[in-house]
Amino acid sequence: MAIRERLSGNEAVAVAFKQIDLDVMAAYPITPSTEVPQYFSQFVADGHVKTEFVAVESEHSAMSACIAAAACGGRAATATSACGLALMWELLYVASGTRVPVTLAVINRALSAPININNDHSDSMGARDSGWIQIYSENNQEAYDNQIMSVRIAEHKDVMLPVMICQDGFITSHAIENIELLEDEKVAAFTGSYQPEWSLLSGNPVSVGPLDIPQFYFEHAYQRARAMIDSKKVILDVFEEFGKLTGREYGLFEEYKMEDAERAIVVLNSSAGTAKHVCNELRAKGEKVGVLKLRVFRPFPTEEIAKALSHVKAVAVMDKAECFSALGGPVFADVRTACYDLEKRPQIINYIYGLGGRDVKPDDFLTVYNALDEIVKTGHTGEVYRHVGVRGV
């Protein structure tokens, strides 16, 4: 029997790490992810885990320690937010380039400046091209489930890439929700133990982290890119196995009332809940609207997204991150690219929303659906790069 609990998103992730029985957690406090290592260090203090908890002096050192621990054949994880993730930047690439299966809980928060401790996705979106698998979580249950599945994905021999599981700072990290936990032994059976193909501590000396001259660097970069492509199948297999275990079935994205939708909103993390609520209200009035909630952003599910949106007339892609490109947000850029090869493309617009913890209200999604309605009726896309919920626009 699954265990019914009420946990915050942060505590849910800490419990997942406990049940995974990490070998090393190296972490540094930063709001709003601080609670994850706090809860975890209590598990250490109470003897509930055999993990070595390393209270490092920075996020840079947290990721450095995790990379080495994973290279030693251990399960290593950390948690961070915002500037902490930015400080890890250099090592994010080292982790994926070294092909070590580190896992990371990102509690999404805005990047400075100005300093802001609240939620948006500028931290993890900035890291989207670092060779990490990225999975986003709508609520505490998904954050917990994704974190458990992350080790299986990262450690698969066809993948061997680090994985970050993202959830919204404060909105889900600090909100206490009902959650269904797996029993410890079920998590242990599902995650198994990490069986590395090589390790610094195997008894057979191995050198890791070479200087690559131009004769080799390209091939190694290609192998990493290939692993990202191949990871999609592994991710789906792990989702399926987890679904059989728990009854909670996950895909690369969730299609909510999309079968006959003429207008769709693409969104990720907690705002998907608000979007679904507005979708329901409009459906009650007979409007053909839907929500596509993206879960796996890296690898980007290009063909699947294109197929899911192929019958839709107008799409709004929501980005909780600016990338200051003058082109639109990161999710938008990828969704629009995915749809380019469709014979009949939907009209696609982008909304930047909710930056720095700006409250995201049902009315915002109503505005978006109304704008899509206008596009469908007139046939004119109009301005593509839009903002909602910001004053003076």
Which is nearer to another protein, 52 or 255 (by Cβ)?
Answer: 52
Q: How far is 12 from 143, CA to CA, in rounded Å?
A: 7
Q: Confirm or reject binding of residue 24 to another protein (CB under 8 A).
A: yes
Let me know: does 256 contact 278? Beta carbons within 8 Å.
Answer: no
Residues 6 or more apart in contact with residue 198 via CB below 8 angstroms: 206
Q: Which of 5, 41, 48, 56 binds another protein (CB under 8 A)?
A: 56
First vs last C-alpha separation in the chain: 52
Looking at the Cβ atoms of 59 and 168, the one nearer to another protein is 59
Long-range Cβ contacts of 51-54 (<8 Å, 24+ apart): 51/17, 51/21, 51/22, 51/23, 51/24, 51/25, 52/23, 52/24, 52/25, 53/24, 53/25, 53/26, 53/27, 54/24, 54/25, 54/26, 54/27
By CB under 8 A, name the one of 208, 236, 245, 376 that touches another protein.
208
Q: In angstroms, rounded to a whole number, what is the distance separating the alpha carbons of residues 97 and 242? A: 28
Q: Does 27 participate in binding another protein (rule CB under 8 A)?
A: no
Among 3, 45, 55, 327, binds another protein (CB under 8 A): 55
The CA distance from 317 to 385, in Å, is 10
Residue (201 or 390) nearer to another protein, CB = 201
Candidates 13, 16, 30, 67; binder of another protein (CB under 8 A) is 67
CB atoms within 10 A of CB 254: 18
Of the two residues 98 and 270, which places its CB atom closer to another protein in the complex?
A: 98
Chain CA centroid to CA 170, Å: 16
**CA nearest 335: which of 291, 305, 365?**
305
**From candidates 38, 41, 61, 246, binder to another protein by CB under 8 A:** 61
Collapsed DSSP state (helix, strand, coil) of residue 331:
helix
Report the nearest approach of another protein to the CB of residue 210 (Å).
4
Question: In this chain, which stretch among 12-20, 52-60, 160-168, 265-273 interacts with another protein, using CB under 8 A?
Answer: 52-60
Task: Output the smallest distance, CB 151 to another protein, in A.
Answer: 15
Tell me: does residue 68 bind another protein (CB under 8 A).
yes
188 binds another protein (CB under 8 A): no
Which of 192, 209, 362, 382 is the binder for another protein (CB under 8 A)? 209
Q: Which is nearer to another protein, 212 or 359 (CB)?
A: 212
Stretch that binds another protein, among 58-66, 225-233, 280-288, 379-387 (CB under 8 A): 58-66
Shortest reach from residue 44's CB to another protein, in Å = 11
User: What is the widest separation between alpha-carbon atoms in the chain?
Assistant: 69
- Is residue 213 involved in binding another protein (CB under 8 A)? yes
Residues 6+ apart with CB under 8 A from 386: 349, 350, 351, 352, 371
Q: Which of 113, 114, 197, 211 binds another protein (CB under 8 A)?
A: 211
Given the rule CB under 8 A, which of 47-55, 245-253, 254-262, 385-393 is the region that contacts another protein? 47-55
Helix (H) or strand (E) holding 144, with range, is helix 140-155
Residue 23 binds another protein, judged by CB under 8 A: yes
Distance of alpha carbon 20 from alpha carbon 143, whole angstroms: 14
Location of structure tokens 């698998």: 133
Applying CB under 8 A, the residues found at the interface with another protein are 23-24, 26, 50-52, 54-58, 60-62, 64-74, 76, 90-91, 94, 98, 200-201, 203, 205-213, 216
